[in-house]
Amino acid sequence: MPQRPEKGAGLDLWLSYLEALHPTEIDLGLDRVLMVLRRLFPRRPDARIITIGGTNGKGSTVAALERLLLDSGRSVGAYTSPHLLRYNERVRINGTDVSDEVLVSAFEAVEQARKNVSLTYFEFGTLAAFVALANAGVEDWILEVGLGGRLDAVNVLDADLAILTSVDIDHVAWLGNDRDTIGFEKAGILRPDQAAIYADEDPPRSVLQQAAAQRVQLKRYGIDYRVDNLGGSTRFESEGGSWQATWPTNRLPVKSLAAAVQAMRILSPETPSPLISESIGKVVLAGRFEQRGTSPHVVLDVGHNPHAARWLSSQVRELNLSGKVHAVYACLSDKDSAGVMAAMAEVVDSWYITSLDVPRSLPIDQLQQMAGSVLPAGCIVQTADNVASALRAAIADAGADDCVLVFGSFYTVAEAQKALAAP
């Protein structure tokens, strides 16, 4: 067993302790988490809980709903994962990342409560986030599911409102390899008679079956609410047009933003349209079509599966570039990298592929072999030792009107952010 950090230990020591505490990184199931939760919280936390699950679009939905609730005068805590540069990004109180001291205090509380119960890194961190949000006394908790839903640690709390952003193929080793099976896992966050939102077209049958069986008040995109592109702005309509809002077009997934607006329609129906428009216009999210340069354009995106890549490809097209697109790509070995590259092939002119400095990284030789089988003949593919060197090469080769697009993983974007920030 790893040595418990001594009193006064810093955040880095605690995170190292969490990494060594459980024999596996992912160990889906709620029994262990529930046992510790009941020791920490004999009663349900006194807050309104919104749980957000789905394959893609969760982070954008969290960011938009957080902004809307804050601007409407509510106090809000948010828990998301993974982080890009600092663990503190995972827990926000009223829009601000919590301090090291807040996290360490929460870790100490979980450590005392767990006794001999073994917890994964994510489970320990999730319970610590609950402690931090409870100690802050915020009115609304926005909780992002880490993986799946039914057996994810976040699901130990019953939500007042559940949002499923999308269901597509990802994490097949844990969730299954078809949308119906994955949808069953994602829909595990639903509860009887609960208000819920499905934020995409064509929900899997398993989601609709679970919603019907539990009499969930499910609001569906395209049926109960929708958005229209007005050319420079987006119009939201709900309940047959009786509730509308318009906001400036930005580079975040519009269905995620619409889900957050529909959530406000449920949670705070009196929210005025001008506040909706102003708030949504302010939403930004690091790593989601994050633009970091203009000559050439530099864009960072955490998209790591074919569904996310198709959205990313559509956003690149909307840039209406006069130049070329240079892709810096590195990914994890458990992702459908062939599907991602195929989805991006039509908009990318040259590739700079590399590997990541993490155990789960897809080795560069395998990625190069995959590129040869997926990309069109004659497509330019270069290799680099790491993301930073791949990014430097891409920027050096790019013209002023070109775009350097960095994507493939949270790790890929984090390494690019560090490289861009370096002197």
Q: pLDDT tens digits for 387-418? A: 999 999 999 999 999 999 999 999 999 999 99
Can you read off the two tokens belonging to residue 288?
């989601």
Q: Which of 294, 366, 289 is nearest to 334 (CA)?
A: 366
- State the chain's mean pLDDT as an integer: 94
Q: Taking 80 as the threshold, does the pLDDT of residue 1 lie above it?
A: no
DSSP H or E segment with residue 107: helix 100-114
Tokens of 130: 């609950």
Q: What is the pLDDT of residue 181?
A: 94
Q: Which two tokens mark 160?
A: 């007042």
Give the pLDDT score at 29: 87
Question: Tokens 């861009």 identify what position?
Answer: 420
Report the C-alpha gap between 115 and 111 in whole angstroms: 7
State how far the Cα of 394 lies from the Cα of 397, in Å rounded to an integer.
5
Q: Distance between CA atoms of 136 and 91, rounded to whole angstroms?
A: 11
The pLDDT-based confidence of 353 (bands split at 50, 70, 90) is very high
Q: Please answer whether residues 63 and 89 qualify as being in contact, where contact means their C-beta atoms are separated by less than 8 angstroms.
A: no
Give yes or no for residue 187 having a pLDDT over 90.
yes
pLDDT of 172 above 80: no
Q: C-alpha distances in angstroms, 164 versus 52, 54, 62, 131, 378? A: 6, 5, 12, 25, 40
Whole-angstrom distance, CA of residue 24 vs CA of residue 63: 30
| 23: three-class secondary structure by DSSP | coil
CA-based max dimension of the chain: 63
Separation of alpha carbons 390 and 343, rounded Å: 21
Question: pLDDT-based confidence at 23, cuts 50/70/90?
Answer: confident
CA–CA separation, 140 vs 48, rounded Å?
Answer: 5
Percent of the chain at pLDDT exceeding 70: 100
In three-state secondary structure terms, 178 is: coil
Provide the pLDDT for residue 243.
87
The DSSP symbol for 7 reads: T
**171 pLDDT more than 90:** no
Peptide linkage before 376 cis (omega within 30 of 0): no
23-32, 268-277, 300-309: the lowest-pLDDT one: 23-32
pLDDT of res. 127? 98
Pairing relationship of beta strands 325-329 and 350-353 according to DSSP bridges: parallel
